[in-house]
Structure 1
Amino acid sequence: MQRRIRTILLSVFVVLLAMVAPVAHAEVEHPRQQWLRASTAGLFLHWGMFTAPKHLDCAEWERDVTGGGWNADYWVDEARKLGASYIVLATFHSRLGYARPWPSAIPGSCSTKRDLLGELVQAGKAKDVKIILYMTDDPQWHSEQGKQMLDSAAYSAYKGQQVDLTTRRGFGMYSYDLFFEVMRNYADLAGFWIDNDNEYWEQNKLYEQIRAQRPSWLLSNNNEDTPIMDTVSNEQKTSMTPSYDYPQAAWTPMPRLVEADYKLPTTGDWWYDGRDHPVDFRLSTGRYITNAGSSMKSLMAETPMVNGKFPPSQAKFNNFMAEWVPPIRESLYGTEGGGYMYGGMQPGFWNDGAHGVITVKPGAKTQYIHAVTRPSTDMLRLRDNGYWVTGVTDVRTGERLKFNQSGGYLTILNIRNWDTYDTVFKVDTPLQTGYYNNVSATATSTRDGFPASNLTDGSFESYWDANDKLPVSVTLDLKHRKPATHLAVNQREWSPTYARVSFGRPEDSARIKDYKVSISDDGVRWQEVRAGAMPSARGTQFIDIGQQTTRYIKLDVLNTWGGPQAPRYFGELQIDEIKVGHGYPLIPRGQTPLEAEHAQLNGTARRSICFACSGTSQVIGLGGGTRNSVTYTVTKEAGDHKLELNTTSAGTTSLTVTVNGSATEVQIPKDRPDVPADTAISVPLQAGSNTITLSSNSPRGPGIDRIAIAPLPPASYTPTTTMTVKPHGVQWIGPGQQTIKVTARLRLDVDDALDNVELKPTAPAGWTVHGAPATVQKLRLGQILSGEWTLTAPAQTPAVTAPVTASFQVLGRAKQVTTNVDIKPRPADRVFMREAEDSRNQFGSTGLTGCGPCSGGEKVRNIGGSPDAFVQFDDVTVDSAGQYTLYIDFTVNGPRSYFVSVNGAQPTEVKVDGQGNNTPYTTTLPVTLNAGANTIKFFNDGSGAPDLDRISLGTG
């Protein structure tokens, strides 16, 4: 009885908590999640009636499953090969026939006589692999194969009322009953993986009832952060650089449980389609490791055949993982992502093209460096975040490696054994030091409940919110004048690192871009000590400010990376923690190659202390020509190489780089005389010995910290840029001579500087361009080059494309990126036509998404459901006032409605219906317009509206 009372009280508590708690706080941490937090991966299985060869009869599918030798132990054993602690079974799936692999008393869709689900649950229990059941709320694909897969008549008879399972509400009622049947019959199940929400479920408190009846079960939700859910699953993110770094596209901060949900087969459907699709080992292992390095669970999707066996390519990968993971298991199991709330060194891009992540054992004095992409040299150099290192070991070989620490960096030397996919180093870090504990913070803008004091409270679960105000200042008070060398900034990981569209939702980075740092003794008079751009990257970011003695340090955030196309992130700023450093660990156990102080010094060139430099020294005294110089002798293979120059400079100056007698002048930008910055050029080297001399013709040349020589990146390499061209979307123009105003902005998003940058459009045949190209000699991180032009059309205009091209050089190689403006003649029976995705429209919180069959290949998605989810067409221009026919091109699944308002007048509901979000339809609406410019708004404040492709106007 007492146990039952506790269960009832828990249910009431959960219901109240879900009603009052803010998003992502209700179920962030709970004891039932512990097994998943301790895991690294899961196996996602899409398997059902439409697994090739497709079955349209449930009994025939079950017969072939059994006849083929399906065995639950096989799936569990394959999951264990992948290091998976759980299996998500997606059989009751909208694209797989809504098959239920369990005997059911509830009619409505395919249900097997054999208890396949029960067998899998028991097999998993015997081998400590949890089983989670996938559930969908989506009835739209009920007759995709030409046969009705949902039996509304049978379910209606069972319920004693008429229910249409092909509607979202009817299907919600049906699936609601299935949840309870599963809960009654499978006590050893671990939970539900739920693909989107259903209004019927929410109205009837489904999740709260699951919590009450099965409090130990987990709930996972796809692509949304729903408070009552344990897990946020991020589905199939792509287009990262490097491609395997899945966390770059995630937007849910720790300690929220997060899955990275991705396919192992490189191509094909989520389910077996009859072909043996390849598995990209590099991509898949990289995802596995970088997810672990961000405390994300790898939910790997495989495509079993009807008999349950995996196609050969997937089976081969599983066998590979069974051998590849165990030697590095200690670095992946029982660890958290390093560089975030659990401490650790800095993940991301390191030296000479290297990229990787850190894993840490919470509470232990051990970290693991995962070099997923190896450097082009034999050393690894990364920010140490104040951790004293006492030993470095190659986890796979057991070899102890030489290393040193200085200037805030750990350098691992003379690495001879590189794994193809992930070289792992165990790093002993008994102590983190060099940061002040008693620091207070204030800010010029703060959102209620998220004060600036959260920045220095030592907790990553409390954060400061700038309350949508930029620029904004944060002032750190050290209490007394003290030494200060750098800031370590952990921004809240609630946004992706780059602009993208995910399921029609616009996303962008809400991280610091341009900043400046100032110091003061009294909080009134300030001296600027550093300014620059911070990379849009995950994990701890550092700002070195040289050797300062001060009481107050002020960080001015001038802007963030996010653009206005993603209003959720634009102008927003959230920071977990800012730490003030007063020094760097110094362990000179080995010498970093090519440090300036160990080269040949000529003339007035001399060694000088520089605590932020490699080896805590630099060489100064350059200037006045070649007699004052630093000379290196290096041995390399013949060919062009990347020469990286680590220099310091209090003002803009230049450096003469002479390689084997051939000189190149390199501009060095103004920064600090005690903080090194990087500049890279391409140099030709001969086989064997080479002489590289650094000098300066400036009166006072730069300081030299070190140089580094590495192979050039692949010829295909182009630094990541963001180019925004307006107008976006196909431009429909009428007869006669027309003009189009084109604007473009090119932003450099990475540290590799661009040289000789030119931005311009190219006129199509017969067109003219008015306006000069936009140019700049050098573009650095975060900087923007903008241009504006007018394109004039001839009297008769066929469909044309006007490319806008940014041309530049990177390490001496010519590169370019291009975005096209597509222009088409308007049909003769239309007086106006514009794409929904056109940049002249207002989008609210909606987003653009690809749609191959749609006009222009795009459409606007996520219209409706809230007042800010609208599309508004401004400047809808007609020659004369009167009534027109508004043609609306759209896609839709099932019955939905727009509300259409013209010039702010009472809206008209437009009801439409259809099947398939990639099938364009057209409907019409009579509208009355004014002569000149008009406004037409599409919205639905109450529920989701159709996706919008294009509008046009006809007379009559």
Structure 2
Amino acid sequence: MRIRLLACLAAAVALVASLVSPANAELYHPRQAWLRASTAGLFLHWGMFTAPRHTDCAAWERDVTGGGWTPGYWIDEAKKLGASYVVLTTFHSRLGYARPWPSKVPGSCSTQRDFLGELIAAGQAQGVRVMLYMTDDPQWHNETGHESLDSAAYSAYKGKPVDLTTRPGFGEYSYDLFDEVMDRYAGLAGFWIDNDNEYWEQHGLYERVRAKRPSWLLSNNNEDTPIMDTVSNEQKTGMTPSYDYPQAVYTPMPRLTEADYKLPTNGDWWYSGGDQAVDFRLSTGRYITNAGSSIKSLMAETAMLSGRFPPQQEAFNDFMATWRQPIRESLEGTEGGGYMYGGLQPGLWNDGAHGVITVRPGAKTQYVHVVTRPSTNLVRLRDNGYRVTGVSDLRTGKPMRFAQSGGYLSILDISDWDTYDTVFKVNTAGQQYFYDKSTIKASAPSLVDGSYLTYWDAGGQLPVSVTLDLGRKRSTAYLAVHERESSPTYARESFGRAEDSARIKDYRVHASDDGQTWRTVRTGALPSARGVQFIDVGEVHARYLKLEVLNTWAGPQAKPFYRQLALDEIDVAYGYPDPRGEVPLEAESWRNGFEGKATPVWCEACSGTNAVTGLDRGAVVFRDVQATGPSRLQLDTTGPGTLSVSVNGAAPVTVAAPGAIPVPLNAGANTIKVSGTADLDRIAVAPMPPESSTPRTTLTVQPAGVQWVSPGQQALRITASLRLDVDDPIDDVSLAPVVPPGWTIQGAAVTAPDLRLGQVLSGSWTVTAPAAQDVSIPVTATFRTLGRTKAVSKPVQVKQRPADRVFMREAEDSANDIGDAGVTNCSPCSGGQKVRNIGPGAAVTFPGVTVPAAGQYLLYLDFTVNGDRSYFVSVNGGAPVEVKVSGAGNNTPYTTSVPVTLTAGANTLRIGNDRAGAPDLDRVSLG
């Protein structure tokens, strides 16, 4: 194991920002203060190619001015969104590299009118800062046949030949523009930079910015670069809920982080014609969840030629101006709650609810943002040890009835739901019943030092454990575990990299009086979720506690996160905040009937601090259970067991506890009788989820990528695994391929009576075809949830290899090693995918490239590229051979070839570029 300590510098703090990012980024520098205090920014893409597209710079400027462009309009619209800064994006590779200021440096469109200067002045007058977008990329210089870069003019200006269409030449040109802007616009807030250019790095551009304009910010897109102030994350999608953008972010606090996303639901980042819709639900949800994770919402709108926004975007801005007003105090001057700043636990709550927490400094005043409302009239979430003194609806000021016990806060009798975000102001008396960390010693001292600028890294070792010494024998009720937010929380492909969570999955907690003899006090699984996570251990009396982590959620497809684990802090609690109020349907309630030996008993971790025991010789009867019809019945118990549930006198149904089942409740009052072998804490009744609702799972199938086979009989080995990613168990699980007629399958379906959080069902099969053919073989998992049958499926695509090829394999095939490169979608590519981000440290290795005889073959490379780039091809570890290629579009497949000498049987090919970025790779084949 290794403990990483981040040194404090004079004006900043050095931070290892994530498991996959470099150290020594500056934190808390005075130049960053304004952005830390911000909630949002406005991202403006606007330039020569804004519709209607211009190719003449003077004509574009004339039409912009004639259309009535004014800087005050943009500033006013930004303020409606609650944005405190604007990023002006005109020097953009897809917008004609336009510069909206009078420039002395020739090379691309430059205006006579000082649009940039006017915007800066208008922003300063209203307290809105302006940042300038700068691109590193010349590849789109003649995207549609119009040459946007003037190498001849710039060469004459420099007195030497410079080709602006190359990365070095464009880097030198744009370097001069950075200098010009720094000299001309003292009021600018900084640069928003779209990735890096090698020329900038080699010539110390960022150090120059720091020297000339030390108060300016530097922001970089999609990379965590230490010298930059912020890490920006561009247009992440595919989350559940779809608005929960923070699930895609991999950079832990307190690093400054932006989420960059489009407000128009469809279309380009810039105005290309038409009035695109804005999804209010998605956009407001992103805005709130970002604020609840201390992430800045950088919202992109598509300004038209005159600068005005299309009507649907203007309408959204007007809506935001009024919708935000009643809840401003929960968004401005707050931080995300449940992380390093304290606060209740964010995420998924009861009965389908989902939301985030924002906190004021000190975390005594907090805000519960219910973005997805529950199907019931209460919200129940972990209190993280805070004793709640009052709750009110922030929009109306109405005091709310609440209850607190067993580590949970329940806000009750909610009737006024906002369509997009119901906000409750929660006043607290601070946290209770946590041991002073100065009294705890740990095998990893950084876990109990109270600082989020140090953390413990497991060094790629799993299973692994950490030990806490409480100093003497003491009581422990629960652990609050703060995992490092250095990975996404779900499995998907984004920006060329498989993303998956490096958070704890299966764990055990052990206790000891002497540090030698251990007893297990809790086993379980934690969800793949952001924010503080809790492990309730009951009443444990011991001096030593050991948290053993068996595995994490990341799979081998997510190489940067696989088998990685890092923890910020662990808090040890010896009790829960004092109980107050009663949650509906608590088992011990005086409203219930108790039969036989059923008796309420003390249970500090339970709702209401009581449970009902003796159900093996008695029963608890819940009277007057209100419902609107068939419902989901949740049964919370103090441990595993089975329960027998009878509804309205019907025959009892046996349930594995804790768990949830469908029950045929009547509209109005019902009676539910529960007996069994587990102690019952409480029940909860909610409407059944929609028929379309399916528990979240991850289905992994190999081989992945199109399988190209030769003529004749074919046999294919298929492996698959199904993982359950949510708390509700699924039953009667079955997993198997479904083969086409005429095929045979060796191996039966694998089955499990049930799966619980984090559990995996795996199998392997051999499928055989009488002859090669183009087919899709679905690998399908079926299961039941709440009495409903559901299925998820993923295909294995098989195609017959062309007659003029002796070998063919997709770059994204699971048989390959793509290292730190990644897979991304590409609709015109073979198989619909390709491998991108090939370059220094990221190559694609093809093992098992089999040929019938030794000799020379022609290696075909199918690729996409925009501009001039190179591959380097190595065979069986030999010297690499450069293959130069050119193209005009990353969505246009091309093919090139190079002769290679192979041995009979299996060979290994390595395709990469250790010097610079390589083209994206679609497929390889041998002629």
8 A Cα contact 2:17 2:255, kept in partner:
no
Cα shift at 1:871 = 1.0
Instruction: Verify: 1:850 aligned to 2:825, yes or no.
Output: yes
Matching residue within 668, 688, 704 for 1:688 = 668
8 A Cα contact 2:12 2:29, kept in partner:
no
Instruction: Verify: 1:483 aligned to 2:483, yes or no.
Output: no
Cα shift at 1:501 = 2.6
Measure the CA separation in 2 of the matches of 1:634 and 1:930: 79
Cα shift at 1:23 = 2.2
Measure the CA separation in 2 of the matches of 1:96 and 1:788: 51
8 A Cα contact 1:638 1:687, kept in partner:
yes
Tell me the residue number matched to 2:775. Answer: 800
Cα shift at 1:186 = 0.9
Tell me the residue number matched to 1:710. Answer: 686
Measure the CA separation in 1 of the matches of 2:215 and 2:628: 63
Letter in structure 2 aligned against 1:60: A
Q: 1:483-508: CA deviations, max 9, x gaps? A: 10110000011111112333212332
8 A Cα contact 2:143 2:888, kept in partner:
no
Instruction: Verify: 1:531 aligned to 2:511, yes or no.
Output: no
Instruction: Verify: 1:922 aligned to 2:895, yes or no.
Output: yes
Measure the CA separation in 2 of the matches of 1:45 and 1:412: 40
Measure the CA separation in 2 of the matches of 1:948 and 1:645: 52
Cα shift at 1:691 = 1.2
8 A Cα contact 1:58 1:110, kept in partner:
yes
Measure the CA separation in 1 of the matches of 2:631 and 2:895: 58
**Secondary structure at 1:611 match in 2:** coil
8 A Cα contact 1:460 1:576, kept in partner:
yes
8 A Cα contact 1:592 1:614, kept in partner:
no
Instruction: Verify: 1:945 aligned to 2:921, yes or no.
Output: no
Measure the CA separation in 1 of the matches of 2:629 and 2:669: 13
Give 1:237-276 correspondences, 5 Å limit. 237-276=236-275
Letter in structure 2 aligned against 1:579: D
After superposing the two structures, state which structure 1 stretch, 348-357 or 503-512, moved more: 503-512
Give 1:215-226 correspondences, 5 Å limit. 215-226=214-225
Matching residue within 598, 604, 612 for 1:611 = 604
Tell me the residue number matched to 1:517. Answer: 509
Cα shift at 1:589 = 3.2
Give 1:175-190 correspondences, 5 Å limit. 175-190=174-189
Tell me the residue number matched to 1:113. Answer: 112
Give 1:106-505 correspondences, 5 Å limit. 106-363=105-362, 365-437=364-436, 438-443=438-443, 452-505=444-497
The structure-2 alpha-carbon separation of the partners of 1:17 and 1:82, relative to structure 1 and needing over 3 Å to count, comes to closer
Q: Segments of 4+ in structure 1 off by > 4 A?
A: 12-22
After superposing the two structures, state which structure 1 stretch, 564-573 or 134-143, moved more: 564-573
Cα shift at 1:939 = 2.2
Cα shift at 1:593 = 3.8
Tell me the residue number matched to 1:5. Answer: none
**Secondary structure at 2:275 match in 1:** coil
Instruction: Verify: 1:642 aligned to 2:632, yes or no.
Output: yes
Measure the CA separation in 2 of the matches of 1:663 and 1:161: 91
Give 1:819-858 correspondences, 5 Å limit. 819-858=794-833
8 A Cα contact 2:853 2:905, kept in partner:
yes
Measure the CA separation in 2 of the matches of 1:333 and 1:489: 28
**Secondary structure at 1:805 match in 2:** strand
Q: 1:793-818: CA deviations, max 9, x gaps? A: 112x3311000111111111111111
**Secondary structure at 1:686 match in 2:** coil
Cα shift at 1:14 = 10
Measure the CA separation in 1 of the matches of 2:239 and 2:780: 22
Letter in structure 2 aligned against 1:656: S
Measure the CA separation in 2 of the matches of 1:352 and 1:219: 43
8 A Cα contact 1:15 1:208, kept in partner:
no
**Secondary structure at 1:227 match in 2:** coil
Percent identity, please: 66
Measure the CA separation in 1 of the matches of 2:320 and 2:726: 33
Matching residue within 549, 568, 576 for 1:576 = 568
Matching residue within 888, 903, 906 for 2:879 = 906
Tell me the residue number matched to 1:50. Answer: 49
Tell me the residue number matched to 1:633. Answer: 623
**Secondary structure at 2:454 match in 1:** coil
**Secondary structure at 2:891 match in 1:** coil
Cα shift at 1:925 = 1.4
8 A Cα contact 1:124 1:130, kept in partner:
yes
Q: Name structure 1 gaps, 5 residues minimum.
A: 1-11, 444-451, 670-677
Measure the CA separation in 2 of the matches of 1:20 and 1:417: 41
Measure the CA separation in 1 of the matches of 2:90 and 2:15: 29
Measure the CA separation in 2 of the matches of 1:550 and 1:636: 44
Tell me the residue number matched to 2:785. Answer: 810
Letter in structure 1 aligned against 2:630: D
The structure-2 alpha-carbon separation of the partners of 1:17 and 1:499, relative to structure 1 and needing over 3 Å to count, comes to closer
TM-score (norm 2): 0.97
8 A Cα contact 2:724 2:760, kept in partner:
yes
Cα shift at 1:891 = 1.4
The structure-2 alpha-carbon separation of the partners of 1:840 and 1:439, relative to structure 1 and needing over 3 Å to count, comes to farther
Measure the CA separation in 1 of the matches of 2:12 and 2:609: 58
Cα shift at 1:46 = 0.6
Measure the CA separation in 2 of the matches of 1:17 and 1:365: 29
Instruction: Verify: 1:737 aligned to 2:713, yes or no.
Output: yes
Measure the CA separation in 2 of the matches of 1:730 and 1:812: 36
**Secondary structure at 1:915 match in 2:** strand
Cα shift at 1:653 = 3.1
**Secondary structure at 1:914 match in 2:** strand
Q: 1:161-209: CA deviations, max 9, x gaps? A: 1111111111111111111111111110111000010011111111111
Tell me the residue number matched to 2:5. Answer: none
8 A Cα contact 1:402 1:590, kept in partner:
no
Cα shift at 1:398 = 0.5
Measure the CA separation in 1 of the matches of 2:146 and 2:14: 43
Tell me the residue number matched to 2:613. Answer: 620
The structure-2 alpha-carbon separation of the partners of 1:336 and 1:18, relative to structure 1 and needing over 3 Å to count, comes to closer
Letter in structure 2 aligned against 1:298: S
Measure the CA separation in 1 of the matches of 2:17 and 2:211: 18
8 A Cα contact 1:592 1:615, kept in partner:
no
Measure the CA separation in 1 of the matches of 2:57 and 2:651: 77
Instruction: Verify: 1:556 aligned to 2:548, yes or no.
Output: yes
The structure-2 alpha-carbon separation of the partners of 1:154 and 1:14, relative to structure 1 and needing over 3 Å to count, comes to farther
Instruction: Verify: 1:787 aligned to 2:786, yes or no.
Output: no
8 A Cα contact 1:887 1:925, kept in partner:
yes
Cα shift at 1:942 = 2.0
Instruction: Verify: 1:875 aligned to 2:848, yes or no.
Output: yes
Cα shift at 1:28 = 2.3
TM-score (norm 1): 0.94
Tell me the residue number matched to 2:102. Answer: 103
Q: 1:489-548: CA deviations, max 9, x gaps? A: 000111111123332123321110110001000011110011111101010000000011
Q: 1:871-901: CA deviations, max 9, x gaps? A: 1111111122222111111112222222211
Matching residue within 692, 711, 733 for 1:757 = 733
Q: How many residues align?
A: 915
Tell me the residue number matched to 2:87. Answer: 88
Matching residue within 589, 594, 600 for 1:601 = 594
Letter in structure 1 aligned against 2:554: G
State the superposition RMSD in angstroms: 1.9
Measure the CA separation in 2 of the matches of 1:666 and 1:551: 40
8 A Cα contact 1:14 1:211, kept in partner:
no
